[in-house]
Amino acid sequence: METITQTIRQTARGGARSVVTAVGQLSAPMRMKPTFIIAGAQRCATTSIFRMLAQHPQVQPPALNKGIHYFDTAERFRRGPNYYLGHFPLNTAYRRPPRITGEGSPYYLFHPLAISRIAAQLPEVKLLVLLRDPVERAFSAYKQETMRGFEDLTFEDALKAEGGRLRHEEERIVTDPGYQSFSHQHHAYVARGRYAVQLERAFSIMGRERVMVIDADDFLVPGLPHWPALTDYLGISPWRPADVIRANARPSDAMPASLKDRLREQFQDDDVQLTKLLGHVPSWRR
């Protein structure tokens, strides 16, 4: 019964998306361009930040989902800019105070072509990048992929298989833009937690001033003391949500301590590189 219900929901969402995108493409010139994109990292509270921003009286979210996945999906990217803009609200520039819009697709940061595509099509957009403990991020991603039916190995076996699964996948994406790598998107548990190399690429393409890096564990605390920095960056009023939203947080069994220690050591050099890049020690290494 549950499977049937899920199928019905997926079919309904697919139909709604087809209608919205068809209408949106026809009216693309009259639609708002995104001011911000939450580009990653996956399982780093991107949904939480997006939902809190969507409550802001000056922020209008996309018509359907937070993530459009245009710049990281070969089939969608081929449809062109009007397809992308068709997901956003109609232009409300006449309204005061002015509104902004944005989306959140957390594969953008890791995808080897997405940031370049963003820079080319949206030369004024600002990126938000959220980070969290890469060890916890890896386990959280594994749980999500398992729940979605995209992973059938144990966590330890999936970590062992990662190197083979990802071998040459990035090179193939770069050389064949029509190629969509399932494992690169769904099985990069450790690779997605190597934040420094991904940020260096984003900084070099976008310019550091157009990439705001947020440590999720420092940011999502009672009172949201760092919220004004975010609204200043986006050029909107300092209104803040009443409560901290923690989306997609699901209780589960803890990761085995021995495996956690091994991963912590594996990320050591990456975290040192990240510290140098950001100029401060990330929350999980303090």
d(CA 286, CA 283): 6
Name the nearest CA neighbour of 53 among 63, 38, 71, 40.
38
pLDDT of the residue at 194: 98
- Given this model, what pLDDT does residue 35 score? 97
DSSP state of 100: B
Work out the burial of residue 26: count CB atoms within 10 Å of its CB; fewer than 13 is exposed, 13-18 middle, 19 or more buried.
exposed
What pLDDT is attached to residue 143? 95
Identify which of 14-18, 218-222, 244-248 has the greatest average pLDDT. Answer: 218-222
Name beta bridge partners: 212. Answer: 128
127 vs 256: CA distance, rounded Å? 35
Residue 9 Cα distances to 54, 80, 146, angstroms: 23, 27, 20
pLDDT attached to residue 21:
63
Give me the mean pLDDT over the 238-252 stretch.
81
pLDDT of 8 above 50: no
- Over range 153-179, report the average pLDDT: 97
Note whether 42 and 136 are within 8 A (CB): no
Q: Ranked by mean pLDDT, which of 55-69, 234-248, 272-286 comes out on top?
A: 272-286
Once rounded to an integer, what is the mean pLDDT over residues 199-212?
98
Q: Residue 2's pLDDT band (boundaries 50, 70, 90)?
A: very low
Q: Which residues contact 46 (CB under 8 A, 6 or more apart)?
A: 38, 40, 66, 104, 106, 130
